[in-house]
Amino acid sequence: MFTKLQNIYQLGCKELWSLWRDPIMLVLIIYTFTVSVYTSSTAVKETLNMAPIAIVDEDHSTLSERISSAFYPPNFTSKTTTLNTMDEGMDAGEFTFAVNIPANFQQDVLSGESAEIQVNVDATRMTQAMSGAGYIQQMIQSEVNEYVLRNREVTNLPIDLAIRSRFNPTLEKQWFMSVMQIINNVAMLSIILTGAALIREREHGTIEHLMVMPVTVFEIMMSKVWSMSLVVLIAAFVGLKVVVQGVLHVPIDGSLPLFFFGALLTLFATTSMGIYMATVSKSMPQFGLLMMLVLIPMQMLSGGLTPRESMPEIVQQVMMIAPTTHFVSLAQAILYRNAGFDVVWPSFVWLLGIASVFFYVSWKRFKDTIHTMA
């Protein structure tokens, strides 16, 4: 037993040295848990943020000026323009929205006649177009009502509705996206590193050296699993402490040791997946294509981006065999809601079972194909 452990340790150290001498992989690791986390949580805005809007005021009345002045930062960046310039700007993609207030608009409103305002939306910008169109309609309606009634109408409801946002009281998008990026990158990077390490052995011819050494397939696999898992855990810890908590100031109230224990079980499964995919692939390009077919559905359907309850029942059942599904569930419960082991233990049991099955299947595949790989 001591000899096996020693072989696993030494082979794992060899993997770490090989990774240290690979600058491309080192850059990928650093980028994945620093720049990628920061940009995904701050650069991509799903809500209105400095959306460019063109306003064509053909009425030049008090009401039209009130409507024009209602669009201000941080939701909008407005620009007063002409009708021809508005069309050219929409065609060129300079504006997401364009509001055209026709002549005699105020007169038609006050006289009770039919009054229309044209709102053009660039629907290719889906994230802002969907929410922005409704928001603009509400703003215009509110300004018109206030102007006609000469006061802001307040409706007294028969109940007192108190809305409280749990776990993210200010509804900060980066609180969610930064942590989810760490969770997704743990699975992605572990598959890449493990699969690339095995393919690198074959491309460099060192797999032949391993075959003549007094080591077993189990020892070779375990060396790659523990070494690549260690790298991902360290990178995830640095990204979580430095980028998420240090730079983005996202509060993490849950137990980090419990979270990383769940990440360790997930890595046991995903590294096994990386080894299996590497035995199926004959080159790095093939491995990259296969990884896209596996990783993208895992991340999209694991519940990190969209709640699993909103997915079809068959998709929910199929995704129960994916380790990322249970990792996302336990990670959100621990980091967001400060859940303890008594709450997330079913996810740990699922991960342990999935990881064991994946490792056994990968070990059988690796054992059957190691001679043909050499």
Residues 30 and 65 in one domain: no
Q: What confidence tier does 265 reach under pLDDT thresholds 50, 70, 90?
A: very high
Residues 129 and 13 in one domain: no
Q: Is residue 180 part of a domain?
A: yes
Residues 277 and 214 in one domain: yes
Q: How confident is the model at residue 138, as a pLDDT?
A: 87
Residues 319 and 192 in one domain: yes
Q: Is residue 369 part of a domain?
A: yes
pLDDT in tens, 120-141: 998 887 777 777 888 888 888 8
Q: Which two tokens stand for residue 127?
A: 């994230």
Handedness of CA 139, 141, 142, 143 (dihedral sign): positive
Residues 57 and 30 in one domain: no
147 exposed, middle or buried (CB, 10 Å; 0-12, 13-18, 19+)?
A: middle
Boundary (domain end) residue, out of 121, 149, 177: 149
86: domain range?
51-149
Residues 32 and 60 in one domain: no
Q: How confident is the model at residue 249, as a pLDDT?
A: 87
Q: What confidence tier does 351 reach under pLDDT thresholds 50, 70, 90?
A: very high
- Cβ–Cβ under 8 Å, residues 59 and 110: no
Q: How confident is the model at residue 367, as a pLDDT?
A: 83
Residues 128 and 247 in one domain: no
Q: How confident is the model at residue 169, as a pLDDT?
A: 74
Name the β-bridge partners of 233.
none
Least reliable range by pLDDT among 33-37, 40-44, 143-147: 40-44
Report the 10 Å Cβ neighbour count for 173.
Answer: 15
Least reliable range by pLDDT among 124-133, 153-162, 261-270: 153-162
Q: Is residue 70 part of a domain?
A: yes
- Conformation bin of residue 95: beta by default, left when phi > 0, alpha when psi is -120 to 50: beta
- Whether the predicted pLDDT of 151 surpasses 60: no
Looking at per-residue pLDDT, the higher value among 305 and 137 belongs to 137
Boundary (domain end) residue, out of 122, 149, 176: 149
- What's the mean per-residue pLDDT of the chain? 85
Q: What confidence tier does 231 reach under pLDDT thresholds 50, 70, 90?
A: very high
pLDDT in tens, 266-298: 999 999 999 899 888 888 888 888 888 888 888
Distance CA 202, CA 268 (A): 22
Q: Is residue 184 part of a domain?
A: yes
Residues 57 and 176 in one domain: no
Residues 199 and 336 in one domain: yes
Q: Is residue 163 part of a domain?
A: no
**pTM for the full model?**
0.76
Q: How confident is the model at residue 357, as a pLDDT?
A: 93
Q: Is residue 236 part of a domain?
A: yes
Residues 218 and 334 in one domain: yes
- Whether the predicted pLDDT of 309 surpasses 90: no
Q: How confident is the model at residue 256, as a pLDDT?
A: 92
Q: Is residue 155 part of a domain?
A: no
Number of domains the chain contains? 2
Report the 10 Å Cβ neighbour count for 164.
Answer: 5
Q: DSSP readout, 193-251?
A: HHHHHHHHHHHHTHHHHHHTSS--HHHHHHHHHHHHHHHHHHHHHHIIIIIIIIIS---
**CATH number for the domain that contains residue 145:** 3.40.1710.10
Residues 367 and 229 in one domain: yes
Q: How confident is the model at residue 152, as a pLDDT?
A: 52
pLDDT in tens, 173-199: 778 888 888 988 998 899 999 988 888
Boundary (domain end) residue, out of 98, 119, 149: 149
- Cβ–Cβ under 8 Å, residues 251 and 179: no
Distance CA 344, CA 112 (A): 61
Q: Which two tokens stand for residue 187?
A: 């699975």
Report the 10 Å Cβ neighbour count for 238.
Answer: 15
Q: Taking Cα atoms as reference points, which of 301, 187, 183 lies closest to residue 244? A: 183
Q: Is residue 160 part of a domain?
A: no
Q: What confidence tier does 262 reach under pLDDT thresholds 50, 70, 90?
A: very high
pLDDT in tens, 2-26: 788 888 888 888 889 888 888 888 9
Residues 241 and 306 in one domain: yes
- Whether the predicted pLDDT of 89 surpasses 80: yes
Least reliable range by pLDDT among 65-79, 95-109, 149-163: 149-163
Distance CA 259, CA 233 (A): 11
How many percent of the chain have pLDDT more than 70? Answer: 93
SS3 state at 120 = strand
